[in-house]
Amino acid sequence: MKHLYLLAFLLFGFVMHSQVVGCNDPMAANFNPAATLNDGSCIYDRVTLGAEFSVDLPNDISETSGLIYYNNQLLTHNDSNDTDLYGIDSVTGQITSRIKLANVRNIDWEDLAQDDQFIYIADFGNNAKGNRGNLQILRILKERLLTNPIIDTISFSYSDQPLPLPTRGNANKTDFDCEAFIVTDNFFYLFTKQWNSKATALYRLPKIPGAHSAELLSAMDVGGLITGATIHPESGVITLVGYDGLVRPFLYLLYDYPDDKFFSGNIRRIDLAMQFSQLESVATLDGTTFHLTNERLQRRPLVNVPAQLHRINLAPYIGFYVNSIRLNNNDPLNLSQFVAYQDRINKLVTVRVREPLVGAPFFFLDQSGTIALEGAIDALTTQIDASTLARGIYQLRIGRDQGRTTNIIID
């Protein structure tokens, strides 16, 4: 038995020794190329990003509040009274279709999400007094959406909200408001809009009809109000949008997190150059190009901003991660992430990569994990001068994780 304990201890020590914990995102200011296990410590430079284009939305959707891609168009809705869904053109912002939902109420619709079978409408806006007792998510069967929609509900309450619910209170003074959610295989995840703390709390909720208690998981200080969310299923990247007290919009990228601990991975904030744009929704198809909408904002006499549709390009900030995940999927077109050939006579290493890895950093690590040579992959085929390397075995790493590595013998 003692020998078994000793063997387990040695194996555990070997595994722990082989894992280097740290920031493994090359986009971060404190990137550690030797890190094989992300610990959520990445730090990013603050950036401000402008839209590729912005167009005004029709008055019929001046209170746009949710957004998804559906049936080759964007789908949105207003945040109160109106029970129609609106298809809009992703370039012009003009209404292309209208879907009427019968026998439902729009108390405070705040976001849209979808999976393979259903579209979900978040009727859980709760900013008046924070005392709604009818928080719910509407579930609509996609195959009947355009004919005779079948709609049922998932109702819930917050597990940590004190009871009884308040009967008095001022508007926009509660931490139990919510305007953003995503859906995964088994759960909804809600990101609250905390008016007092300027944070967001993460709740988990089963995505089956019935009454449930939304389980509080964690919270994050965001310095403002979160108003919309989306997830790119292929990469797991979550994007939150919102604005601060001066109506300066921003977004957060959450990625490379363990399980559903969304605030324990990489967290990157990007400010958006759209002053007084009260962002309400966000959607993406490919994980790098995003559409966002803001509702109309009027603050007389100086502010009169129409509802708008924006498109932004986040490829410089998240494209490398999204594409690296895509290369790791079991797509037969992507079986090889990169290949490397060595010319021993001229001490050149030729690296051929697929297009998403162009621009990625490369590192030659010696057997102690020390960087012996580094640079960037600047084309689909890149020749690297390895003449400065001493004889030995090196690990050639391209990018952010251990999945894109190969061994090179320099002699």
DSSP string spanning 13-51? Answer: HHHHHH--EE---TTSTT--TT--EE-S------EEE--
Q: How far apart, in whole angstroms, are the C-alpha atoms of residue 404 and residue 362?
A: 10
- What's the pLDDT score for residue 20? 84
- What's the pLDDT score for residue 18? 56
DSSP result, 234-295: TTTEEEEEEE-TT--EEEEEEES-STT-GGGSEEEEEEES-TT-EEEEEEESSSSEEEEEEE
**If you count them, how many residues does the chain have?**
411
- What's the pLDDT score for residue 311? 95
Q: Which long-range contacts (CB under 8 A, 24 or more apart) does 25-34 make?
A: 25/256, 25/266, 25/321, 25/400, 26/320, 26/360, 26/361, 26/399, 26/400, 27/268, 27/317, 27/320, 27/321, 28/266, 33/361, 33/363, 33/365, 33/371, 33/374, 33/397, 34/365, 34/369, 34/370, 34/371
C-alpha dist (Å) from residue 39 to 33, 35, 42, 325 = 13, 9, 8, 18
Q: What is the pLDDT along the chain (411 residues), one digit of tens a residue?
A: 545 445 444 444 444 445 788 998 988 999 988 888 899 999 999 999 999 999 999 999 999 999 999 988 899 999 999 999 999 999 999 999 999 999 999 999 999 999 999 999 999 999 998 999 999 999 999 999 988 899 999 999 999 999 999 988 889 999 999 999 999 999 999 999 999 999 999 999 999 999 999 999 999 999 999 999 999 998 999 999 999 999 999 999 999 999 999 999 999 999 999 989 999 999 999 899 999 999 999 888 888 999 999 999 999 999 888 877 765 554 433 445 677 777 766 788 888 887 778 888 999 988 777 899 999 998 888 889 998 998 777 888 888 655 567 777 676
Q: Which residues pair with 95 in a beta bridge?
A: 88
Q: Which two tokens stand for residue 331?
A: 């797509």
Phi, psi of 283 (to 5 degrees): -150, 150
pTM, two decimal places:
0.78
Residue with tokens 């009818």: 134
Q: Is 115 left (phi over 0), alpha (psi -120 to 50) or beta?
A: beta
